[in-house]
Structures are given as C-alpha cells and as structure tokens.
Structure 1
Amino acid sequence: MKSRRDNIVIGIDTSCYTTSIAAISLNKDIILSEKIMLKVDKDAKGLRQSDGVFQHVSNLGKLSENITGKLKDYNIVGVCASEKPRPIEGSYMPVFTVGLNAGKLLSATHNCPFFETTHQENHIKSSLLGKNLLNKNRFLAVHMSGGTTEIVLANKNDSKGYDLEIIGGTKDVSFGQLIDRLGLKLSYDFPSGKYIDKNALECNEKIENGLKTSVKEGYMNLSGIENQLNKIIEEDKNIDKSYLSKLLMDAIVRCMVKSLSYLCKKYETYEVVFAGGVSASKYISKNLTQKLKKYNVKAYFTEPHLATDNAVGCAIIGIENLNLGE
C-alpha cells in the first residue's frame, strides 16, 4: 500500500469555457492542475453547448497524454467530477456530461470509487484551500464568473460538504458577461477579463461620478450599467479604454459592497470567500477587500489559477468523501 502522499484522487471539471483535470494527494498536496481553454471565435459572445461538448472530448484526450507521465508513480484511489453547474434541482448543462462520464470510465479502469459534485461546489472548495477562516462551518461565498454571479450562504453539513442557499446575486446579466461585452466593444478577444482588469489597474484618472448601480437587499440589476457604458461610448468614440474599464470595475466593486454589507449584517456572518474567474481580477480583489473592511467584513480571495476554472476543488471533495467512507 502506498503512502497517503502517493495515493491520489483525480478531479475533472468540464465547464462552459475550460477543460480541467487535477490530481491531489490524500494529504491535499496539488500534484498537478492542468486545463485547456475552449476556443471561441473572435467577435463571438460565447460558445454553444454542442461546440463545448465536442471541444471537451478532444481536450480530455490531449490532457490525458500530457499527464500520463506525471502520474506514473502515483496510485489513483478515487475520482470526482462536476455533474452540473449548481447543487440545486433542475441545474443542468450538457458540457458537464463529458467530464462526468470520463470520470466514471477512469474510476472503473482503476477499480476505485467515483464521486459526483457540482461546478459551484468545486469552485468554493478550491478557493478554501489554504485559507484559515475563523468559522469554516458558516460563511458567505460569492461565485463570480462568465455565466454566474451568485452570493450563497454556506453551512457545513454532516457529510463534510456544504448546504448552499442562494441569498443574493444578479437578477439579469452576470459580471462576467458585462466585462466580456465591454471587451467586445473595445475589440478585445473573448474572454476579455484580463484586458479590462489590466486597463483598470493602469488607469490613473480619478472617477468623479461613477456609474449608477441598482442594488436591493443583496440582489443586483446590472443591465443598467451596460446601458450607461454603451451611451458613453456612443457619445464619445475616442474615450480612453482604460477609463471605461475602470468605470466598469468600480461599478462592480460598489455593487458587491452594497450587497455584502447588507447580507453579512442580515445573516450575522462576516467572512466572505470569493470564487470564479471574475474574482481573479486584481482590481476587484484589492478594492473590494479594502472597502469591505469598513464593514468589518473579511474577504478571502485565492490565487488566480484557483479562482478561474479548475478541477482542484473536485479532487478535494473526492478526498473528503473517501475519508468519510473510511
């Protein structure tokens, strides 16, 4: 029998825009975390599910070739894959079936247990890695990505997982969609987050009058922000791209501050974990952390490679399920 360090669990996540595989030792050391972004045509606003499924199948083949040599000295004792976007009834996207079935096949060939989780739980678990919350049994988690902007109350349950209750978020478009739509207007490639973030960080112009935001009891309406940006662009074709980017990122931060300050007080929990690709923004993490301190709210942002789509959280959930079985 190999040591806990040599026994590993494989995590697989096939989301809307990334194919991810991770291997974690039973000591929760990251052995590898590999990913391939799905290809989106220039000027396209997104990717059809059917195209995503096709690319995931191809990418899993490429990843398997890359990781075979890296894992030859390890023993796979479990596999865990994301089966759907969220841990709620009715949540479904075809792209996740690729990783789900690949995980089942891998577990069968290695004669080891297979576990299912969700994309959102995967994100939260990877974001918690190495974080020392004062209360890991109850906290708020924010999932900000291209398709999702949700604020959930996480309560630990008896199975070592979390019961996730949606208590806030957006009622229309997501933060990721806002960022990508602005990026498209500014002729950036999709996804546009890294370009908008870089612009906002480099902009030294002070925002005198920020964009108007609509936030009520933890829920946000973001379409008004997009309309304001479009109007500004129409009225001034030569407006600085960096300033436009900063205007948007500033509005996102202010929306989150209004939502979280209200929800933390309402639910009497003052720790917030951030997950999802948008949370990898250096502008957002820096400014949001500072502004939330005024409300005695502690913000936990993870490393960018764990904030964006990955399968590390899936592998961790697999390990915890193995330990529960023991």
Structure 2
Amino acid sequence: MKSTRDNIVIGIDTSCYTTSIAAISLNKEIIFNEKIMLNVDTNSKGLRQSEAVFKHVSNIGQISENIAEKLRDYNIVGVCASEKPRPVKGSYMPVFTVGLNIGKLLSSTHNCPFFKTSHQENHIESSLLGKNLLDKNRFIAVHMSGGTTEIVLVNKGKCGKYEFEIIGGTKDVSFGQLIDRLGVKLSYNFPCGKYIDKNALEYEKTIENGLKTSVKEGYMNLSGIENQLDKIMSNQKEIDKSFLSKLLMDAIIRNMFKSLSYLCEKHGVYEVVFAGGVSASKYISKNLTQKLKKYRIKTHFTHADLATDNAVGCALIGIQNLNLGE
C-alpha cells in the first residue's frame, strides 16, 4: 500500500510539435517531465495536423516505455490533459484529441478523476511554478510560441480558478512564425529558435537602424517585419546570419516592450509572466527584462524545460482541481 506522499497527477499535452507527459506529486514536486518533439522534414516550415496526429500516437508509445518503470512507485490519483489551444469558445486543433483520449483512458484504467484544460493555460501554469509573484491573484501573462503571440490579463476568480482576458497580441503572424521562417531561409532545421537565439547572443555590434514596428494599444502587426527582412536579404551579397538574427530579435523586443509598457500602465499591473517556446530565448529574456525594469515592470521568465512545450502545467491544474474537490 503506497503512502499519500506517493500520490501523483499525470499531465498530458499533445501540441503541434511536441508530445508531452508529466507527473507531479501532490506537494508539487516534478516526478518526471517527458517530451518528444515531432519529426519535421528538413527545409519544411511545419506539419499538417493529420501528420502531427499520427506522430503523436507513435510518440505516446515511446514515452509509455520510458515512464513505465517510474510509475511503479507511485499511485495515480488524477489525470489532466489539454483539449484545445486556448480557453475560448471555438478553439480547436485535432492534435489535442490524442492527449485528450489517452488521458481519458488512463483515468479510467486507474479509476481516478479526469480533468481538461487548454494548451495556453498549461503553459502559463508551468511558468508560474516556483515563481514568487507579489500578487498571484492578478498579473499579466504573455504566451509566445510557434503559433501564438497573446497578452492575457489573468485574475483568480472566486472559485480559485484563473480567468483569462486577452488584452493584446499579434493581429497576423506570431513571433514564433517569424523566427522559424527566417531560420528556414537561413538553412536551419525547423524549429529554428535555438539557432536564431544563439546568433543574436553572439552578434556583439549594436544595430543602430532596426526594423520598423507597428504597435497600437497592445496589439502588433508583424507581417511587415518579415517583408523588411526579405528585402534586406535580397540586397545582401553575403548573408550575415548573426546580424539578421539580432535584427529580428531586437524587433520582437521592441514590439513586446511597446505593448507591455502600455498595457501595464492601462491595467495597473506591473508583473508579467512569460510562457511558450519563444520565451525560452536567452536574448529576449535578458534584454526585455532590462527595458521593462526602467518602467518598474517585473518580469518572470522560467527555465527552458518549462517555457517550451511540456505537460507540467496540465498536472498542476489537475492538482488544483483535486484540491477544489471537482
């Protein structure tokens, strides 16, 4: 008979590019955080949903083998899976049905409660782990990933659950798409974030004339940035990958700075939590933190393992629901 300290909640997230399963003890200790990226062909800009669904099913089998031994020492008391990209009506992607149905099966075989959440809530919750916010009941969260750039006002409701209000973001492409599109043009393998980030960190010169940005009341139009980069590349005799990488990253930082300085002042909230794969960038976290600090805005970036796709947030949300008695 296992003791209560060996009770765990399983989190599952099957996003567009990563299969993730995590286990968290009821005292919020990470037991394991397993994830496998979906294979993307060289020079490809992504995967079709049908391809991604097939790859998730294959990855689930591999992860199951990896965690089988670890699970023997624990008692599963709850399962939580992402069922959709965002916590809004009509949000849907086929890839999430894989994790959703695996979660239902797992909860059934272990005779424990099953809970549903969204990919965005999962990201934000995992980014909050271990963070000491001055006010955990009200803050701004930024979700920057391969397909999403949103700024959300987060309030804790009466029942203890977070409520989300979109207050800013991009009106066209996302930061992640800009980074990956530039990376593919520079002959990097998809996803390209780590290469662009490394280049930007290594480029030591200051860029005097950056790319033009378009920001109004917290909302950004980013497609113009890609057009400017294409024009610069077409005029270069020899492509300078580090220069182009830093040029793009500086533009991302300026967009986010303009948006957040406006929104923090408007809503009277001066703490920002960053989630999603793009927030794992060391260049962005360092330079954006410095710029926002001058406006007395405190930033909370997390470790890359919790910023990039994972299922830790799902498991944490499962624990919250257990504590609420749902």
TM-score, normalised via structure 2 length? 0.99
User: In structure 2, what is the equivalent of residue 316 of structure 1?
Assistant: 316
**Deviations for 1:80-102, whole angstroms, at most 9, x for unmatched residues?**
00000000000000000000000
Match of 2:130, SS state, is: coil
User: In structure 1, what is the equivalent of residue 47 of structure 2?
Assistant: 47
For 1:93 and 1:120, locate their aligned partners in 2 and report how far apart those are by CA, in whole Å. Answer: 13
With 206-215 and 159-168 compared, the bigger mean Cα shift is at: 159-168
For 2:201 and 2:251, locate their aligned partners in 1 and report how far apart those are by CA, in whole Å. Answer: 14
For 1:178 and 1:258, locate their aligned partners in 2 and report how far apart those are by CA, in whole Å. Answer: 18
User: In structure 1, what is the equivalent of residue 126 of structure 2?
Assistant: 126
For 2:61 and 2:37, locate their aligned partners in 1 and report how far apart those are by CA, in whole Å. Answer: 14
User: In structure 1, what is the equivalent of residue 57 of structure 2?
Assistant: 57
Within a 5 Å distance, the mapping from 1:233-272 to structure 2 comes to: 233-272=233-272
TM-score, normalised via structure 1 length? 0.99
1:300 partner amino acid: H
User: In structure 2, what is the equivalent of residue 176 of structure 1?
Assistant: 176
User: In structure 2, what is the equivalent of residue 186 of structure 1?
Assistant: 186
Match of 2:69, SS state, is: coil
Report the alpha carbon displacement of residue 4 of structure 1 after superposing the two structures with TM. Answer: 3.8
For 1:305 and 1:237, locate their aligned partners in 2 and report how far apart those are by CA, in whole Å. Answer: 38
1:242 partner amino acid: S
Report the alpha carbon displacement of residue 206 of structure 1 after superposing the two structures with TM. Answer: 1.1
For 2:67 and 2:5, locate their aligned partners in 1 and report how far apart those are by CA, in whole Å. Answer: 17
How many residue pairs get matched?
A: 326
Report the alpha carbon displacement of residue 61 of structure 1 after superposing the two structures with TM. Answer: 0.8
1:79 partner amino acid: V
Match of 2:152, SS state, is: strand
2:250 partner amino acid: D
**Deviations for 1:170-210, whole angstroms, at most 9, x for unmatched residues?**
00000000000000110000000000000000001110111
For 1:121 and 1:79, locate their aligned partners in 2 and report how far apart those are by CA, in whole Å. Answer: 15
1:284 partner amino acid: I
CA contact (8 A) 1:4 1:27 kept: no
For 1:111 and 1:85, locate their aligned partners in 2 and report how far apart those are by CA, in whole Å. Answer: 27
Match of 2:155, SS state, is: strand
CA contact (8 A) 1:4 1:25 kept: no
User: In structure 1, what is the equivalent of residue 18 of structure 2?
Assistant: 18
1:191 partner amino acid: P
User: In structure 1, what is the equivalent of residue 91 of structure 2?
Assistant: 91
In structure 2, stretches of 5+ residues that fail to align are: none
Report the alpha carbon displacement of residue 236 of structure 1 after superposing the two structures with TM. Answer: 0.5
Percent identity over the alignment is 80
Q: Is 1:102 the equivalent of 2:131? A: no
User: In structure 2, what is the equivalent of residue 281 of structure 1?
Assistant: 281
User: In structure 2, what is the equivalent of residue 296 of structure 1?
Assistant: 296
For 2:274 and 2:4, locate their aligned partners in 1 and report how far apart those are by CA, in whole Å. Answer: 29
**Deviations for 1:192-248, whole angstroms, at most 9, x for unmatched residues?**
000000000000111011111000000000011111100000000313110110000
User: In structure 1, what is the equivalent of residue 115 of structure 2?
Assistant: 115
For 1:121 and 1:73, locate their aligned partners in 2 and report how far apart those are by CA, in whole Å. Answer: 29
**Deviations for 1:283-310, whole angstroms, at most 9, x for unmatched residues?**
0000000000011100000000000000
Match of 2:5, SS state, is: coil
Report the alpha carbon displacement of residue 143 of structure 1 after superposing the two structures with TM. Answer: 0.2
